[in-house]
Structure 1
């Protein structure tokens, strides 16, 4: 068990460096797209104030992620590896967002 935990802890820096290799704007897009998907999946019929917060969070995160997605798709059009990362993270909530 200790060996397994030690092995996992040794791999954490490798995961961090793999993520750091992404350009900052792509990493920010991924974060916004994940927030967009998170908030788009929430709904609260019983608490109107909370539902307003969710609606505002969806508009903010999904709107920003959608703008980033379009800009980054054009910016990295000639870089297939980054295009794949961008496309893989442009979830349904980002792609279908309408204000």
Structure 2
């Protein structure tokens, strides 16, 4: 009896958890675009290393200038726009630039 209940709980968890996670990850399109850009900026910053060849450094510098030059300004804008939206604010506050 206990094993059957446990099995049902696990089965329901496997079926419905992706739906719940997807609902939590849905943000308005404008701020979702910012999250994409912010993730890209963090990735690019993590790729930077003084030991890289000059060509790769130039590529990274160009990509960072193109995609990240005003990321802090955008973050501030969305923090003001979505000040009352707790899920958005939580994710916005997770970025440090």
Is TM (by shorter chain) over 0.5? yes
* Residue segments in structure 1 that go unaligned for 5+ positions in a row: 95-99
CA distance, structure 2, for counterparts of residue 33 and residue 9 of structure 1:
31
* Residue segments in structure 2 that go unaligned for 5+ positions in a row: 1-6
Q: How does 1:14-33 map to 2 (within 5 A)?
A: 14-20=20-26, 22-33=27-38
CA distance, structure 1, for counterparts of residue 60 and residue 67 of structure 2:
10
Superposition RMSD in Å: 2.6
CA distance, structure 2, for counterparts of residue 55 and residue 8 of structure 1:
43
Output the TM-score relative to the length of structure 2. Answer: 0.67
Output the TM-score relative to the length of structure 1. Answer: 0.66
Alignment of 1:87 with 2:93, yes or no, is yes
User: Which of structures 1 and 2 has the bigger CA Rg?
Assistant: 2
RCO (CA 8 Å, sep 6+): is it higher in 1 or 2? Answer: 1
Q: By how many angstroms is 1:8 displaced?
A: 4.3
Aligned residue-pair number: 87
